[in-house]
Amino acid sequence: MPTNELHPNTWIDKYADYLFNYAITRVSDAEIAKDLVQETFFAGLKSAKNYKGEAAERTWLIAILKRKVIDHYRKINSKKGKAEIRMGYANMEDAEGDWLEEKVADPFSQSGEQSIENEELGLALQDCISKLPSKQKLVFTMKTIQGMNTEDICNELGINASNLWVMIHRSRTALMGCLNQNWF
């Protein structure tokens, strides 16, 4: 039995910052992130009649935002996009990576400092990605942010799969080093 209800009048106050922080870590452009959040709210209003109440309001809005981010990358790359950022830790042997969201403070917790930390992490992550060597940044963005498959990236860039995974590993290692130095 559904227990959740939508309260669109409170969305901006309750969720705008959270959705923006979510979007900015995926598109690395504040204006695009703002547009995606606005599109999310419009889509939520349009499809409110389809809301079944099975998910929390915030979860439902994030699901809409994820689709908006994917659509954004599809438009600019005309390839299927994926908007999850995975970060590997050098000290985790052969670990695939941890979702960035698990490392970000929950903006709905009781501490106001954590909201500031979310924004700072997003900015630090953008800065660290911008410092990667150009080919590593391109491969990391294509694979990790846009979600392109290995074969397509290799064909487009004229590299082999081993080379791609070395660049991905180096990018993740560099990002963690940069974040550890500049944010943590």
- Give the domain-ending residue among 34, 68, 83: 83
| pLDDT given at position 36 | 93
How far is 153 from 44, CA to CA, in rounded Å?
34
CA-CA-CA-CA torsion sign (138, 174, 34, 53): positive
- Model confidence at 124: pLDDT above 80: no
- Give the residue, 107 or 159, on which the prediction is more confident: 159
Please, which pLDDT band fits residue 119 given cuts at 50, 70 and 90?
A: low
The domain tally of the chain equals 2
| pLDDT given at position 39 | 93
Range of the domain at 3: 1-83
- Across 88-123, b (16+ Cβ under 10 Å) vs e yields beeeeeeeeeeebeeebeebeeeeeeebebbeebbb
- Give the domain-ending residue among 83, 110, 132: 83
What's the whole-number mean pLDDT along residues 23-49?
A: 89
Q: pLDDT tens, 139-150? A: 888 887 777 888
Is residue 48 domain-shared with residue 92, that is, in the same domain? Answer: no
Is residue 11 domain-shared with residue 67, that is, in the same domain? Answer: yes
Is residue 145 domain-shared with residue 117, that is, in the same domain? Answer: yes
- Give the domain-ending residue among 48, 83, 118: 83
- Model confidence at 123: pLDDT above 90: no
Is residue 182 domain-shared with residue 94, that is, in the same domain? Answer: yes
For every residue of 72-136, DSSP letters joined together read HHHHHHSS------EE--TTSTT---EEHHHHSPPTTSS-HHHHHHHHHHHHHHHHHHHTS-HHH
| pLDDT given at position 147 | 79
For every residue of 3-37, DSSP letters joined together read -----GGGHHHHHHHHHHHHHHHHH--HHHHHHHH
Contact 100, 87 (CB under 8 A): yes
Q: What is the CATH number of the domain that holds 26?
A: 1.10.1740.10
Is residue 26 domain-shared with residue 112, that is, in the same domain? Answer: no
Is residue 180 domain-shared with residue 103, that is, in the same domain? Answer: yes
Which candidate, 66, 173, 179, 174, places its Cα nearest to that of 120? 179
What's the whole-number mean pLDDT along residues 12-40?
A: 90
Is residue 36 domain-shared with residue 65, that is, in the same domain? Answer: yes
What's the whole-number mean pLDDT along residues 68-97?
A: 54
Lowest mean pLDDT among 71-80, 108-117, 124-133, 146-155: 108-117
Quick one: DSSP state of residue 47?
T
- Model confidence at 35: pLDDT above 90: yes
Q: What is the CATH number of the domain that holds 110?
A: 1.10.10.10
Is residue 127 domain-shared with residue 50, that is, in the same domain? Answer: no
